[in-house]
A and B are shown apart, each in its own frame.
Chain A
Amino acid sequence: MKFDIIIAGVGGQGVVLASRLLATAAIDAGFHVATAETIGMAQREGSVTSHVRIGDDVCGSLIPHGKADLLIGLEPAEAARNILFLSKNGNMVVNEHAIMPSTQDCDEYDPEKILEFLKESCPQTITGDFTGLARSAGTYKAANVAMIAAAAGAGLLPFSDEYLWGVLEKMIPEKYREVNRRVFDKAIESVSGISEKSGKETNEDK
């Protein structure tokens, strides 16, 4: 068994926490895991990518291009920046909420166009405003939790969402647990019956 996940986002979005949650849940589910994370200077609003490799073999933590089974993009441009990692049979879950760069290049970034490209590249891509979903459940900061919950809810992980919640419960301080539970449930609900619903309808959940 081998299952490779890329999580991409912008520093401050909780990419590192998302990869820890997935990795810990995978270990609880009985797998071997290796991860690589971006820690340090790039975390200051830069592009951040985590690699999570789940499976039986011990291997390097960096996923080769074309090998990722799942790409979780916390931001559209960051998903596109990492799309070469995605295997031709891979899946994607992408946050529609864009983060505009602070310096003057904003005019050149059209998130709608990038989302269109992502959906063309991978027709089974699930998109939704997971930041909006998290905000409406109590905190925009839990978009990372919403997205991994959505991946679990859509059956895109090699373990069930109970393992994921089990880890969240242990890792998240008590005062934030309730809001994260709401985000978690809402995200899973947003992808239930994903084949009937389009990504846009997921958006309306907020």
Chain B
Amino acid sequence: MTGKRILMGNEAIAFGAMKAGLQIASGYPGTPSSEVMETIISHAKKYGIYAEWATNEKVALETAVGAAYSGANTIVTMKQVGLNVASDPLMSLSYIGIKGSLVILVSDDPGPHSSQTEQDTRAFGHFSNIPVLDPSTPQEAYDMTKLAFKLSHELETPVILRTTTRVSHGCEDVLIEDIEPVSKDIEGFVKDSRWIIFPKLTAQRHPLLEELQVKMSDRFSEYFDDNTFNSITKGSSKIGIAASGVSALYAKEAIKEHSDVFSFFKAGTAYPFPEKAALDFMEGLTDLIVVEELDPYMEEQFLQIAGKYHLNINIHGKKNGSFPVSGEYNVDVVVDSVNRALDNIGSQSIRLSHSVAAVKPEDIPSLPIRAPTLCAGCMHRTVFYAFKKAAAKMKKQSGIDSVFSGDIGCYTLGNARPLNMVDTCLCMGAGISIAAGLSHTPEFMQGKKAKQVAFIGDSTFFHSGIAAVVSAVYNNADITIAVLDNRTTAMTGHQPHPGIGLTAMGSPAKMIDIAEVLKSCGVGMVKTIEADDLQACMDIATEAMEFEGPSAVVFKGKCVAICKGTSQYVVDEDKCTNCKLCINQLGCPAIFSIAPGIPVIQDTCSGCGLCAQICPAGAIVLKEALQ
């Protein structure tokens, strides 16, 4: 039904895609992008769309490419670091192009809030010659998604829709339209040499690809005429402000009191940069202030135009120190940065101001640090603690140290105090390969041995762990792989994966058994165990670490965020000796104490019983047992 609905930016993108006639969708979950696919999946049956979670972003993109080659309208979704995984097909795809339509949704994460990098997908668009649209609100995200499909089909190129966290995870009242069931009349794959990349084809296509960049830049300059995604307003001074994405809104709010003073340039078409419109805008200005998160991408475009056309204009942004080079922006950051730029310009008359807060920063008392941590009852805590104990035993008995390589997922939080069980973390699937690399170093350090342990989650194992296992076995790396199998992609919102036996759309699927995969790869010792009995987990960890060559243990359990516990533990005050082992060893968020009191277990306890298993006084008991 056409009308306004409160939608998260990611939901708005999904509705925009479905309105544009989406037929086939693929993706890999990653914050802040996951809800796009989830929204598509939940409407897929209703509109006749095919949607799937792929094992990783490269596979997802290639799947969408295949569908688009046959003329389908397709979308592929991922977070910014996912685009790194998908970059191999992406770079070649721009030469080949597509037939139906292909929109690549990539979510950037200034801050970062939930990511390894602060990379900028606008720069990736530039690098790969693929157009990038950059919405600033959920409404624009909806409208631009429709535009992205249209452009992709018309120009036979993939189009990147790039969002940032505040657009992806912001909610707004969005005007959406009726969605029709999808059409079933695509042409299908037509055999043609254009689909086979060869050096000769690349050489033929490259000049055409470069021509397309100029054509698109000109077209995006024309978008300023109707003021939808691109707009220019003239101000009374010779100072201009240019912004894109959500930064444009921060800039507008920051200069609200002086909005008639500054000329304002907003471009929702990030790449190819609308050079003609930008040149028109710059003429007559003495100074230009560029407001953008992440890379100084627009700033560099303006600098290039200023150089190319010998314009007498000063550009103020990240490169001259006016704006922070990293981190997320907001209105206050923009107020301070524009003021720094105005200082550089030597403008005395205009000054942006902050609102007056109820208190001053220095009056706020010191507050407890609340770092993210594993949930109360999380199975990962039991496994980490088991390996910690097994490693301590190994060190004591044979003097061998252990190194714990982590990976990307909830279990990265194993690094938190007091567990301290993640020594390295780099990117998806890297834990196993890094452990393998470390395992080959002792002979270069006077034979000083260290046991290498790699932790990897179930979804990450399927994403990019398997190739690392094969390599480790092939090269006989002395490593122990601990698979933390909670049967879901937990951190990104509990998406299914190939080990679950269900597809994204809820159909039964072949369940791929991780232990069988490890065995078939030739891992010498493969064991599977439920991660609830601490002693059994410690014994199996010791056995695996003592094994020479690649060994693996699959620890199975439930994610407490979706399978709520049925029991709760409490502290028996008569038995507790106040040794605080439960607090100092486990870091479970359900247990705390206020000195000099004994530990207290809160309502959030989900009954895993790990604390009861380590309590030397037997003072932690089931709630019903105490009553």
Binding site for B on A (CB under 8 A): 10-12, 19-20, 23-24, 27, 32-47, 58-62, 64-67, 77-78, 80-81, 83-88, 90, 99-109, 113-114, 117, 121-122, 135, 140
Q: Shortest 5 CB-CB distances between A and B: which pairs?
A: A66-B355, A40-B114, A100-B592, A60-B249, A66-B357
Q: Which listed residue, B32, B359, B373, touches A102 by the CB 8 Å rule?
A: B373
Contacts beyond the supplied A20-B171, A59-B253, A83-B357: 7 A-B pairs with Cβ under 8 Å: A34-B170, A43-B372, A65-B355, A102-B592, A103-B587, A105-B369, A107-B595
B375 contacts the other chain (CB 8 A): yes
Q: Are B357 and A86 in contact (CB under 8 A)?
A: yes
Which chain A residue has the least Cβ–Cβ distance from B138? Answer: A34
Segment of B60-68, B393-401, B410-418 engaged in the interface with chain A: B410-418
Q: Which listed residue, B173, B354, B588, B593, touches A106 by the CB 8 Å rule?
A: B593
CB<8 Å pairs between A and B, sample of 10: A20-B6, A23-B6, A42-B113, A42-B114, A45-B372, A47-B370, A67-B355, A80-B367, A87-B355, A102-B590
Interface residues of B in 568-587 (CB under 8 A from A): 583-584, 587
Q: Are B31 and A34 in contact (CB under 8 A)?
A: no
Residues of A within 8 A of B410 (CB): 44
User: Residue among B250, B356, B358 with the most chain A CB within 10 A?
Assistant: B358
Q: Which listed residue, B330, B491, B587, B590, touches A60 by the CB 8 Å rule?
A: B330
Residues of B within 8 A of A10 (CB): 370
B368 contacts the other chain (CB 8 A): yes
Alpha-carbon distance A117/B330, docked complex (angstroms): 27
- Give chain B's interface residue range (CB within 8 Å of chain A): 35 or more
Q: Which listed residue, B6, B330, B374, touches A27 by the CB 8 Å rule?
A: B6
Q: Are B137 and A34 in contact (CB under 8 A)?
A: yes
Interface residues of B in 328-369 (CB under 8 A from A): 330-332, 335, 354-359, 361, 363-369
Q: Which listed residue, B253, B358, B373, B594, touches A107 by the CB 8 Å rule?
A: B594
Q: Beyond A27-B4, A77-B367, A108-B366, is A101–B592 a contact (Cβ under 8 Å)?
A: yes
Alpha-carbon distance A107/B599, docked complex (angstroms): 12
Q: Which listed residue, B172, B357, B368, B592, touches A34 by the CB 8 Å rule?
A: B172
Min CB distance B237 to A, Å, is: 23
Q: Which listed residue, B166, B253, B371, B373, touches A64 by the CB 8 Å rule?
A: B253
Residues of A within 8 A of B356 (CB): 66, 87-88
Residues of B within 8 A of A86 (CB): 357-359
- Tell me if A's interface is mostly helix, strand, loop or mixed: mixed
- Tell me if B's interface is mostly helix, strand, loop or mixed: loop
Q: Which listed residue, B172, B332, B417, touches A103 by the CB 8 Å rule?
A: B417
Alpha-carbon distance A10/B368, docked complex (angstroms): 12
Q: Which listed residue, A27, A45, A67, A113, touches B173 by the CB 8 Å rule?
A: A27
B246 contacts the other chain (CB 8 A): yes
B102 contacts the other chain (CB 8 A): no
Alpha-carbon distance A85/B361, docked complex (angstroms): 11
Q: Are A84 and B357 in contact (CB under 8 A)?
A: yes
Q: Are A44 and B355 in contact (CB under 8 A)?
A: no
User: Residue among A20, A23, A104, A113 with the most chain B CB within 10 A?
Assistant: A104
Residues of A within 8 A of B417 (CB): 103-104
Alpha-carbon distance A147/B371, docked complex (angstroms): 24
Alpha-carbon distance A62/B602, docked complex (angstroms): 33
Alpha-carbon distance A108/B365, docked complex (angstroms): 11
Q: Which listed residue, A12, A44, A61, touches B413 by the CB 8 Å rule?
A: A44
Query: Contact mask B235-258 → A, CB, 8 Å, 1/0?
Result: 000000000001001101100000
Alpha-carbon distance A107/B252, docked complex (angstroms): 44
Min CB distance B341 to A, Å, is: 18
Which chain A residue has the least Cβ–Cβ distance from B378? Answer: A44
Q: Are A37 and B368 in contact (CB under 8 A)?
A: no
